């Protein structure tokens, strides 16, 4: 039997606004779920907005933010090759995947917004009842999603994402194009948050969201548990 597959979709954006600093995907939010899904029997495939090499937020590679999983990932030739040679969005077939997962880093605040192809792909996952997982700034991918009636998909949905307090704590509130928590609330989402930089995960049917990098493990585990309950994890 062919192994079940999960699709990771990451940012391709590397410029941190006009700050002169670099951003990208947050490494822990890729590495920790990557190994959790593999241990659960998934084949992990990684795509990005532009395909090819995925930028990693340089801060997420510093000693302060290293974890056992990020170190393992950086030394994993197969894993790193997937970041170097990521799939393009127009190469993807939703039918191939059981779930989709969107890690953060600040990059998604730019290239997850206004991307019609990304929105179309995610709507297909949602329409078919497949699990959508998103964490931190990866939740920005949900901002443009609309339901079949043309209304914001997040309206009335319980979810979380990187909080405005956390954005202020990392001095990024004047750099990002908008504040994600504020935007989600404006769209009618039932947003909740935990303490800054602590794990907080929210499940609303087949939509699973995590607040920040510390939520990486719990987000992946919640995604797996949801489909186990539906007897799809065979």
Question: Is residue 160 in some structural domain?
Answer: yes
Give the CATH number for residue 177: 3.40.50.880
Question: Is residue 234 in some structural domain?
Answer: no
Per 3-state DSSP, what percentage of the chain is helix, strand, and coil (rounded to 5)? 40, 20, 40
The predicted pLDDT at position 110 comes to 99
Question: Is residue 32 in some structural domain?
Answer: yes
CA–CA distances in Å: residue 76 to residues 51, 121, 145: 20, 29, 34
State the Cα–Cα distance between residues 190 and 187, nearest whole angstrom: 9
CA 123 to chain centre: 15
Name the residue range of residue 142's domain. 5-229
**DSSP designation for 76:** -
Mean pLDDT of the chain: 97
Question: Is residue 219 in some structural domain?
Answer: yes
Q: Where in the chain does DSSP place strands (E)?
A: 5-10, 43-48, 87-88, 99-102, 131-135, 158-159, 190-191, 201-204, 207-210
The predicted pLDDT at position 231 comes to 76
CA–CA distances in Å: residue 83 to residues 4, 77, 189: 20, 10, 32
Question: Is residue 199 in some structural domain?
Answer: yes
Rounded to 10 deg, the angle between the 27-39 and 216-229 helix axes is 30
Question: Is residue 191 in some structural domain?
Answer: yes
Burial class (CB in 10 A: 0-12, 13-18, 19+), 214: buried
State the Cα–Cα distance between residues 118 and 116, nearest whole angstrom: 6
Length of the chain in residues, anyone? 234
State the Cα–Cα distance between residues 161 and 193, nearest whole angstrom: 8
Q: Are 37 and 134 in contact (CB under 8 A)?
A: no
**Domain count of the chain?**
1
The predicted pLDDT at position 68 comes to 98
Residues of the chain with pLDDT under 70: 1-2, 233-234
Q: Do the strands 87-88 and 99-102 form a parallel or antiparallel pair, or are they unpaired?
A: unpaired
The predicted pLDDT at position 1 comes to 39
């Amino acid at each position: 039997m062919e192994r079940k597959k999960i699709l990771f979709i990451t940012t391709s954006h590397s410029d941190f606004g006009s700050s002169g600093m670099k951003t990208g995907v947050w490494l822990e939010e890729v590495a920790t779920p990557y190994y959790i899904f593999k241990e659960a029997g998934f084949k992990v495939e990684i795509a990005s907005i532009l395909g090819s090499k995925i930028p990693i937020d340089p801060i997420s590679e510093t000693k302060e933010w290293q974890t056992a999983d990020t170190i393992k990932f950086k030394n994993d030739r197969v894993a790193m090759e997937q970041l170097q040679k990521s799939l393009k969005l127009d190469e993807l077939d939703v039918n191939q995947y059981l779930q989709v997962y969107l890690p953060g880093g600040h990059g998604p605040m730019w290239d997850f917004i206004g991307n019609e192809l990304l929105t179309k792909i995610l709507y297909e996952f949602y329409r078919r009842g497949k699990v959508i997982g998103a964490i931190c700034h990866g939740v920005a991918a949900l901002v443009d999603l609309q339901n079949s009636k043309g209304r914001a998909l997040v309206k009335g949905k319980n979810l979380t994402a990187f909080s405005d307090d956390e954005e202020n704590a990392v001095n990024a509130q004047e750099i990002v194009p908008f504040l994600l928590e504020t935007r989600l609330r404006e769209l009618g989402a039932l947003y909740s948050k935990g303490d800054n930089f602590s794990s907080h995960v929210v499940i609303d049917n087949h939509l699973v969201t995590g607040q920040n990098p510390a939520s990486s493990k719990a987000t992946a585990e919640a995604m797996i548990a949801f489909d186990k309950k539906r007897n799809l994890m065979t």
